[in-house]
Amino acid sequence: MCGICGQYDSNGVDVEILHKMAEAIRHRGPDDDGFYVNGPIGLGNRRLSIIDLSGGKQPISNEDDTIWIVFNGEIYNYPALREMLVDAGHQFKTHTDTEVIIHLYEEYGVEAVKKLRGMFTFAIWDQNKQLLFIARDPLGQKHLYYSCQNDRFVFGSEVKCVLVDQSIKPELDTWAMHHAISLRCLPDEHVMFKNISKLPAGHFLTYQNQELHVECYWDQPFEPKLEESEADIIAQLRSLLLETVECHMLSDVPLGAFLSGGIDSSLIAAMMSEISDTPIKTFSIGVKEEDFSELPYARQVAEKYNTEHYEYIVEPNVVKSLPEMMWYMEEPVDPFAFGVYSVSKLASEHVKVVLGGDGGDEMFAGYDRYLGNQIVDYYCLLPRPLRKAVVEPMIGMLADDFSYNNRVQKLRWMVAMSETSDGERYAQSASFLRFGQSHKETLYSESLWKELGHQDAAEYLLRYFNSDVAQQSIDKMLYTDVKTRLADHLLTVGDRMTMAHSLEGRSPYVDQKLVEFVGRIPTNVKLKGRRLKHALREAARGYLPDTLIDRHKQGFSFPLAYWFRNELQGLTRDIFSESRLVEEGYFQKAAMLNLLDEHVQGTVDHNYRLWLLLNMELWYRMFIDGQSIDDLNGQLELRQSVPA
């Protein structure tokens, strides 16, 4: 695991800037650094040593030093690829997976990326062709950001690498913000900054003769469907998942497992325990509020497999960590990130590599919304006059209870979604708890609404939902989630929050080989009747206690709804009252304060919206105004209504 960066400039590389770019991502690779500069090209690397600890220094070249590579990630099938390349006559200087990629490129050119099984971004410089070739793994576990202006191409594992280049002024991209506050992610090539792009998952780019070309090389297959019996499919799934976990345990340093208490991470930990000759290390976090904590279920698994188990209780002072987390995320910090940040900090004290359960819900249909469409269809069987005159007024009178799995919110969601169907329903549901068009019209300034009001961010999801890749409704939802929320939210959080602590996170559920198999599982085996994640639950049978397998999905969360009515109320009001986004003409102060007032009074649970606005304020102050982590921490400490 590493961080990479680089420049292409026909006028020559600014070596000082290149070194500063690498220094900006030291946390991604505290063990070593390395550089290659030759004419117009400069490559930089920060290394977190995982494989071939003594011989894996980057950049690495081919036999005659005409091709160079910097690499971030892990290639799980590299032993087999190396053997094949040796047989083909290639000579190796190291035992790294990095060197395998460069020899694979010699054999297959840009098509080499299709032969890799792993998580990665890499940049290859081909001196003879004067070609820069950069690729990102199929599911998007690793990231690559770049800017291409005035015949100058700059790239890095994080945006902060690119921002080191003083010619790139940090400016808010309002289109990206418009989508982020609705969709919980920054889709495809978009980031929060103007003139900076993200290489989408499953894509590669080439830069040659000052021309940039971006191409998709992988997409998830959903057809043809597997025709075996359900029992045979489950057996194949269990076998493939065990093999996937085993190859993800490839490491020359200690490793462990995140253990949330849910089925996804629990099954990974169980399979690791079966494979390992010694007890594995497991890491869990929780909160004091019992209806938000899954620690009791995590302990069941830890006790069953006699793991070396570590726990940490998160206190309601998470805002104290927000500026530092935001510096690593470079975008609004989702509440989910706090959990990953906290458990990563705990794990980093004991191991260097950790496996987790990211992607299980998106692969196997684990979210309530996959079932929710069916429930809305049942509701729509009621005569519309009855719904409008009786049922919906009654639901409208209910006050939010601010608890986990808020039932009043779910009823309101059902009512709102009953006005839509198919892809439109799915797309609108994505922004229901955040900022839909009606909320934005109130929040945005007149000029911003005029600029963006005609674009409903939710409709962006329809480009995937309505594509021909998936044919059935459940598969269409899963495919859309994989291409948006998984690649551009969940895996982004996982990468940034683990690497913040120089910890390598691995996600077996988003292994390409496994994902391709799961896509072809019939939808009635993924979602069987009203049973979410049926295929994975049955694959876990025998590994996990039945009580854990059969219980309703809970998921880890923080009680932000409570905190915004108590500990965070005063701080949030002060920040909104001095809003930089209001001063710069983006938002309206009255709308921001009204959301807070409604939440505090118990009228509507706005905790997701309040969190987004608080984050946008702090993000703007950090990355646009240039305030430091210490500056923001000082402001937050002064405004805390209750000391952390």
Task: Out of 157-166, 253-262, 377-386, 556-565, pick the least confident.
Answer: 556-565
Give the β-pairing of 152-156 and 2-9.
antiparallel
CATH superfamily, with its number, for domain 2-216: Aminohydrolase, N-terminal nucleophile (Ntn) domain (3.60.20.10)
Give the C-alpha separation, 416 to 429, whole Å: 9
pLDDT digits (tens, 9 = 90+) for 336-395: 898 899 999 999 999 999 999 999 999 999 988 888 888 888 889 899 999 889 888 998
Residue 642 has a pLDDT of 44
Task: Decide: 418 and 593 in contact? Cβ < 8 Å.
Answer: no
Q: What's the pLDDT score for residue 641?
A: 46
CA dihedral (249, 251, 256, 260) positive or negative: negative
Going by CATH, does the domain composed of 230-365+476-550 fall within 3.40.50.620? yes
- The answer to pTM > 0.85 is yes
Q: Is 378 or 557 the better-scoring residue by pLDDT?
A: 378
Q: Say what the pLDDT of residue 316 is.
A: 56
Q: Is the pLDDT of residue 28 over 60?
A: yes
Task: Report pLDDT digits (tens) over 443-464.
Answer: 999 999 999 999 999 999 999 9
pLDDT band at 644 (very low <50, low <70, confident <90, very high): very low
pLDDT of amino acid 56: 79
> pLDDT tens across 392-427, in order?
899 888 877 666 567 888 888 888 888 888 889 988
Are 610 and 571 spatial neighbours (Cβ–Cβ below 8 Å)?
Answer: no
The whole-number average pLDDT for the span 606-613 is 95
How many Cβ atoms are within 10 Å of 357's Cβ, its own excluded? Answer: 22
- CATH 3.40.50.620 intervals, the chain: 230-365+476-550
Provide the token pair at 526: 């993924």
By annotation, the residues acting in catalysis are 2
Asked if pLDDT for residue 643 goes beyond 50, the answer is: no
Residues of the chain with CATH 3.60.20.10: 2-216
Q: If you average pLDDT over residues 582-597, what whole number do you get?
A: 98
Mean pLDDT of the chain: 92
Peptide bond into 316 cis (omega under 30): no
Name the strand (E) or helix (H) holding 223: none
> Which residue has 């995937």 as its token pair?
464
Torsion of CA 76, 82, 85, 87, to 10 degrees: -130
Give the C-alpha distances (Å, rounded to integers) separating 20 from 41, 145, 323: 16, 16, 22
